[in-house]
Amino acid sequence: MAASAFEPKSRLPTPSVRLVQLKRMASKTLLTVEQFEQLPDDGMRHELDEGELISMPSPFTLRGKVQARTTILLDFAHQKSLGLVLTETGFRLSHDTVRAPDVSFIRAERANGLELERRFEGAPDLAVEIISPSETAAEIAHKVRQYLHGGVEVVWVLYPRDRTIHVFESSHKARILEAEEMLEAPTLLPGFSVRVSEFFG
């Protein structure tokens, strides 16, 4: 089922609204990637969104289950020696943005020789985000744009409640797959073909 990638942009804010937005931005404490790297391990998951620190608690059971299912299904990549599958690993997408997809995949040619104790400089080839009820459409669209602009080839956005997967590609193609449709990624994962419902158990 075809779908537009993102909702249309809202009209530009009036000068007074824009002034309030600028004041709010100025009040935020922005971090560099270097400062972000020095944060202590507090058991939470952290990302850097254009300099702003984003902290997220551990996922609820449903999200955790879908993440585990996705990792198991993507073990196909390991079995076929196609590359490396990771969970909640931070990627430096730009000079002020670090994102940690729920699940990610890096092609073998990029993963070979990777220093596992250091931050991966650049984007994964595939980023998988599992959506929670608290996330807004604007937040999701913003994150997908960051992934694609950062060099991700394909983004899968999983909606456990709807049992659908939204697929965004660097070629600007976007589509929504329903539970009984097949998810494939021929350029990244040749031979991979899984029914969408399998991701949700």
Sheet holding 164-169, edge to edge: 83-87, 103-107, 126-130, 154-159, 164-169, 174-177
Segment 133-181, tens digit of pLDDT: 888 999 999 999 999 999 999 999 999 999 999 999 999 999 999 999 9
Longest dimension (CA), the chain: 57
Selected residue with higher pLDDT from 99 and 36:
99
Angle made by CA atoms 66, 71, 75, in degrees to the nearest 5: 145
- Please tell us whether the domain made up of 15-200 is placed in CATH 3.90.1150.10: no
Does pLDDT of 3 surpass 60?
Answer: no
Segment 104-137, tens digit of pLDDT: 999 999 988 777 777 778 899 999 999 988 889 9
Question: How does DSSP assign 83-141, residue by residue?
Answer: EEEEES--EEEETTEEE--SEEEEEHHHHTT--TTS-EES--SEEEEE--TT--HHHHH
Q: What are the structural domain ranges in the chain?
A: 15-200
Query: In angstroms, rounded to a whole number, what is the distance separating the alpha carbons of residues 175 and 4?
Result: 8
Closest CA to 131 of 59, 24, 34: 59
Q: Strand runs (DSSP E) across the chain, as ranges?
A: 45-49, 52-56, 83-87, 91-94, 97-99, 103-107, 120-121, 126-130, 154-159, 164-169, 174-177, 182-184, 193-195
Q: Which amino acid is at 123?
A: A
Selected residue with higher pLDDT from 48 and 28:
48
Closest CA to 140 of 162, 122, 115: 162
Query: In angstroms, rounded to a whole number, what is the distance separating the alpha carbons of residues 59 and 65?
Result: 9
Query: In angstroms, rounded to a whole number, what is the distance separating the alpha carbons of residues 140 and 135?
Result: 7
Query: In angstroms, rounded to a whole number, what is the distance separating the alpha carbons of residues 195 and 181?
Result: 6
Q: Which amino acid is at 133?
A: P
Segment 32-50, tens digit of pLDDT: 777 777 676 766 777 888 8
